[in-house]
Amino acid sequence: MHVDFNQIEKRFGDKVALNIPSWSIEKGDLLGLVGSNGAGKTTFLRILLDLLLPTSGSVRLDGRLLAIDSSWRKRTGSYLDRSFLVEYLTIPEYLSFVGAAFGFTEEETNQRLAEFERFLPISRVDTTRLLRDLSTGNAKKVGILAALFPRPEFVVLDEPFANLDPPSQIRLKDELSLMAETHQTTMIISSHDLGHVTEICDRITLLDAGVVKRDIHTSEETLSELKDFFSGDRQTSAT
């Protein structure tokens, strides 16, 4: 899926939370969105998922205006926070609901979930446990699984590595890389973990005070460049 931001500005009162004149992502890109707290990452993602209206400008997915054409929802998997979970459902109930939204039968949902058995062994979960009774990490795993298992064309994840145990982080990185390579999935991953994003993403967009400060293809120097930026050496590194 191709995504275009055109003259996007979001204001909260007098404060400009996001100001992006032009930005786009191509089909099959695995993009890392980085920035300090309050840099505008969540605002960026919420606008991208049509959860928040920009003050001005437009977002297009495959050339179609996001605000008018809702067909993107059939092709997008996302997880930003616990509001993406229906917490009074059990894990199988929730995943079955998500599967149905993608038009899958129960059997198709189960088949697709089996492909993610390494990330979350669904055959071994407690089927009577409600999502609200899960730990933060396990709830996040369910949310990420719900975003990925339908194999959508477009995936948006906010801080997917935070609160996950190390084995799950490794498996998630494998899954994301696999989806980008073999399924040509377009993915945007917001993260504070520079190590993870530079390792798996082929492009990094750096937000600072609502403005895109860097938009670079990942290379061997990217991690140290980002570290320099965040350690305060912005005068020399900013472009």
Q: Are 161 and 171 in contact (CB under 8 A)?
A: no
Largest CA distance in the chain: 56
Distance of CA 42 to the CA centre of its chain: 10
How far apart are alpha carbons 239 and 236 in whole angstroms? Answer: 8
Q: What minimum distance in Å lies between the beta carbon of 169 and another protein? A: 24
Q: Are 1 and 154 in contact (CB under 8 A)?
A: yes
Q: What minimum distance in Å lies between the beta carbon of 157 and another protein? A: 12
Q: What minimum distance in Å lies between the beta carbon of 51 and another protein? A: 5
Q: What minimum distance in Å lies between the beta carbon of 48 and another protein? A: 10
Question: Hunting for tokens 């975003």 — which residue is that?
Answer: 147
Q: What is the pattern of x (binds another protein, CB under 8 A) and - over residues 80-99?
A: x--xxxxxxxx--x--xxx-
Q: What minimum distance in Å lies between the beta carbon of 79 and another protein? A: 9
Q: Which stretch binds another protein (CB under 8 A): 57-65, 101-109, 115-123, 209-217?
A: 101-109
Q: CB nearer to another protein: give 2 or 75.
A: 75
Q: Which of residues 38-67 bind another protein (CB under 8 A)?
A: 49-53
Residue among 26, 69, 100, 136 that touches another protein (CB under 8 A) = 100
Q: CB nearer to another protein: give 119 or 154.
A: 154
Question: Hunting for tokens 């605000």 — which residue is that?
Answer: 67
Q: What minimum distance in Å lies between the beta carbon of 218 and another protein? A: 27
Cβ-proximal residues to 31 (8 Å cutoff; 6+ apart), any chain: 25, 187, 188, 189, 201, 202, 203, 204, 205
How far apart are alpha carbons 224 and 230 in whole angstroms? Answer: 10
Task: Name the token pair of 138.
Answer: 């396990």
Residue among 13, 63, 103, 232 that touches another protein (CB under 8 A) = 103
Contact call for residue 106 and another protein (CB under 8 A): yes
- Please, what is the Cα angle at 136 between 127 and 104, to 5 degrees? 45
The binding site for another protein (CB under 8 A) comprises 49-53, 73-74, 76, 78, 80, 83-90, 93, 96-98, 100-103, 105-106, 127-130, 132-133
